[in-house]
Structure 1
Amino acid sequence: MPKNKVQDAVFTAIMAIIMVYGMIVYNVALNTGGVTSETFLLALHELPIMAPIAFILEFFVVGKLAKRLAFSFMKPTDRPQFITYAVSICICCIMCPIMSLIATMLFKDTHTFGTFIQTWGMNFPCAVLWQMFYCGPLVRLIFRLIFREKKSKQA
């Protein structure tokens, strides 16, 4: 998808904002006992804190690590969409515990190991499903719309 550092930064920024917002909405809903119209507004308060953290982590550390991890079981000759899925799952496997720890420290009343494990355990299934079925495809669509490749004319 991204072909240079600028495109990679744009892709990562879009992904961080949408992925983090979805996960914050989920966590606010867990904390308040359900989803209301207020849930989406409350989630906006944490977004300016968590999205830059997610961007920095993914862009500078996790993205490279996740690709290395994904290619430990994928081959470059595998179907590109399966490579994309593998990298996405690896990113979730790395980002979810890190972001859950940060959220536990910043937003939970108790900062214990048990609270962190519970937060991580509740977030991981949602993060993978959100990434694979909604956020990932939406971000790739937005990215393709922003960076349309010109088709070469054949004479």
Structure 2
Amino acid sequence: MPKTKFQEVVFCLLMSFFMVIAMELYNTGLRMHGLTNAGMLHTFREIILILPICFIMSFFIVERIVPKIVFQLVTPGEDKPVFVILIRSSVTVAFMCPIMSLWGICIFKQPGSEFLPVWLQTVVLNFPMAFFWQLFFCGPLVRFLFRCIFERKNGQEEFAS
């Protein structure tokens, strides 16, 4: 969908924002054994810290790796677009979930000598949520918002004013 660097930045910011909100609410609920109003307020403070990390990891690292893997599995133009989207989303989650779980435990859990088990458990708990949130909610929402921002007029994408 994004055609220019600016559009890539906007798309990545939107995706990072909506993924971070959901995953931080989810992880806060896990840590507190249920999500509360106080937990939600705490989550929004955490988002300020995690959002830039997520954007940097996604934009500068993962988005350099994912297309190489995806285009070995699918061929845009030949494969159905929905199949390409599903594969790309799945591969992205497969990279981002362990990376962001690592950041999360380092910042919020301070695992000490139990680092590896805490990280592995966090990845296992986060992966299903990240995967299904990405495929069924966040991905479609961000693609819709992106199309609203960059409307197509006369076959060319333009920034909606």
* TM-score bracket for the superposition, by shorter chain length: over 0.9
Residue 134 (str. 1) matches residue 150 (str. 2): no
For residues 25 and 133 of structure 1, what CA distance do their matches in structure 2 show? 17
Aligned match of 1:29: 29
| Structure 1 residue 103 displacement after superposition | 0.5
The farther-off stretch of 102-111 and 7-16 is: 102-111
Identity of aligned residues (%): 39
For residues 41 and 142 of structure 2, what CA distance do their matches in structure 1 show? 21
Aligned match of 2:121: 118
Q: How does 1:136-155 map to 2 (within 5 A)?
A: 136-151=139-154
Gaps of 5+ in 1: none
Aligned match of 1:95: 96
Residue 54 (str. 1) matches residue 57 (str. 2): no
The farther-off stretch of 125-134 and 53-62 is: 53-62
Q: What TM-score does the superposition give when structure 1 sets the normalisation length?
A: 0.93
Q: 1:45 is aligned with what amino acid?
A: R
| Superposed structure 1 runs of 4+ greater than 6 Å apart | none
For residues 73 and 80 of structure 1, what CA distance do their matches in structure 2 show? 13
| Structure 1 residue 16 displacement after superposition | 0.4
Q: Deviations over 1:66-115 (max 9, x none)?
A: 11111221122111121111111101000100110110111004241111
Q: 1:43 is aligned with what amino acid?
A: T
For residues 116 and 81 of structure 2, what CA distance do their matches in structure 1 show? 38
Instruction: Give the number of equivalent residue pairs.
Output: 152
For residues 41 and 143 of structure 1, what CA distance do their matches in structure 2 show? 28
| Structure 1 residue 53 displacement after superposition | 0.9
Aligned match of 1:64: 64
Query: 1:75 is paired with a residue of what secondary structure?
Result: coil
Q: What TM-score does the superposition give when structure 2 sets the normalisation length?
A: 0.90
| Structure 1 residue 37 displacement after superposition | 2.7
For residues 106 and 35 of structure 1, what CA distance do their matches in structure 2 show? 20
Aligned match of 2:158: none
Query: 1:71 is paired with a residue of what secondary structure?
Result: helix
Aligned match of 2:84: 83
Aligned match of 2:11: 11
Q: 1:90 is aligned with what amino acid?
A: V
Gaps of 5+ in 2: 156-161
Root-mean-square deviation (CA, aligned residues, Å) is: 1.2
| Structure 1 residue 35 displacement after superposition | 2.1
| Structure 1 residue 64 displacement after superposition | 2.2
